[in-house]
Structure 1
C-alpha cells in the first residue's frame, strides 16, 4: 500500500509522549548510541563491500547496547556518514521484534510488527503491519498501543501511530491501553517513571520501500 493510501484509510493519527507535564521525560538507555552494532544469523547471507550493504537470513539478531532487533531477514546499509539503516522482515507467525531498556530501572520498550525499519541517524524505529508497542515494567504491561504503522523516536520517546489496513484491530482502528497509576498490576509511576500522554500529531512520514 502506498503512503498516500495508508494515510487516507487511517482512522486515527496521534502522538504519545512518555513525559509528565513540567518534568523531564526519561529516555531510552542513553549509552546505547555509543555502543557497537553487532549482528548474527543462522543461515548467513552476503556482504557487498562496495555498497556497504549486508543481507542476512534466518533468526537474525541485531543488537546495540540494550537495543535488540530480531527478524527472519534483515538488510543493513551503512551510509557515508557511518550511520546504519536496517530493514527487517518477519515471517508468518513470527513477527519482527524490538526491545530496548529505558533510563528507568526495570522498564523497557518492546514492540512487534510484520516489518521494521531502524534509522540509526534519526534514532527512530518504524513498525509496519500489525504493529504493537508496549511499555513494560518488569513482566507487566504498563501501556500498549497498536496500529498499522507505529514510529518510535528513541531520543524523545514519542510515538506516532496510524490506523488503516494492516492494523491488528477490526476496521483498521488504532487501540491504546494505559494502566491507571494506582493499578495494583502496574505500580504508580514516581517522578522518575513518566506515563503516557496524548498530543496531536502533524502526521507520519512516507514509508520507505522494503528492499
Structure 2
C-alpha cells in the first residue's frame, strides 16, 4: 500500500513539469501587510498578527499570524499560522512558458528564504494552475516543496515522518492538455 502511494506521488512529481518557481523572486524586496506587529531588532524577530500578507515578487503568502526572522547573511525565514477554519496560504508564479502557478495551503507553513523551501504542516495541499485553471493537486498531512527543483515530498504525519496506518494522501492528475479528445467526446466544463 505504501509503495503504491509513493509510486503515485512520483508520477505526480513528473506530471508537475520541469518549470521552476519564478527565479527573479529571490532578488525582490519583501513587503508585509498586517494589523499589529511586535518587532525585536536585537533578535531579528518580527511577530505579525491579523490578515498578514507577505509579498516578494510573485510569491504571496497569507495567514492570521506570521513570525519572520532573519539570519546574519540577510536570509529570511517565515512561519505562517492559519486561524481556525482558515489555513495559511502561498502562491507563486513558475518560470516557463505560459501563465503557470503553484499554490498551497495548510494550518502552518514554514518558508526558508535561503534555500527556497516551503514546508506545509497539517491538512496540507499543493496544486498547480495554468492561469486560473487548476491542474494537478497533492494533499497530505505534511508536504515539503523545493521551489528551485520543483520537488515535492508528501508524508502522512505532521512531523514529516511516514507511519503505517497514520493516514493517506490524495492526488489528482489531470489529463495532458496536449491530447485531443476523440471526435464527439463531451468536453468538460472549465474549472471542473
- Who is 1:125 aligned against? 118
Deviation at 1:164, TM superposition (A): 3.6
CA 117–78 in structure 1, closer or farther in 2 if over 3 Å, else same? same
**Partner residue of 1:110 out of 83, 103, 106:** 103
Q: Secondary structure at the match of 2:90?
A: strand
Greater Rg over alpha carbons, structure = 2
Q: TM-score, normalised by structure 1?
A: 0.73
- Who is 2:22 aligned against? 29
2:93·2:102 contact (CA, 8 Å) conserved in 1? yes
**Structure 2 spans left out of the alignment, 5+ residues:** 160-164, 182-186
Which runs of structure 1 show a deviation greater than 3 angstroms over 4 or more consecutive aligned residues? 11-15, 17-20, 183-187
> 5 Å matches for 1:48-197?
48-104=40-96, 105-164=98-157, 172-181=167-176, 182=179
**Structure 1 spans left out of the alignment, 5+ residues:** 1-10, 188-211
Deviation at 1:81, TM superposition (A): 1.2
| Partners of 2:167 and 2:31 in 1: CA distance | 35
CA 60–19 in structure 1, closer or farther in 2 if over 3 Å, else same? closer
Structure with higher RCO (Cα < 8 A, 6+ apart): 1
Deviation at 1:18, TM superposition (A): 5.7
1:179·1:186 contact (CA, 8 Å) conserved in 2? no
Deviation at 1:152, TM superposition (A): 0.6
| Partners of 1:156 and 1:185 in 2: CA distance | 32
Deviations 1:41-79 (A, max 9, x none): 02x121001001100000001110000000000000000
1:151·1:159 contact (CA, 8 Å) conserved in 2? yes
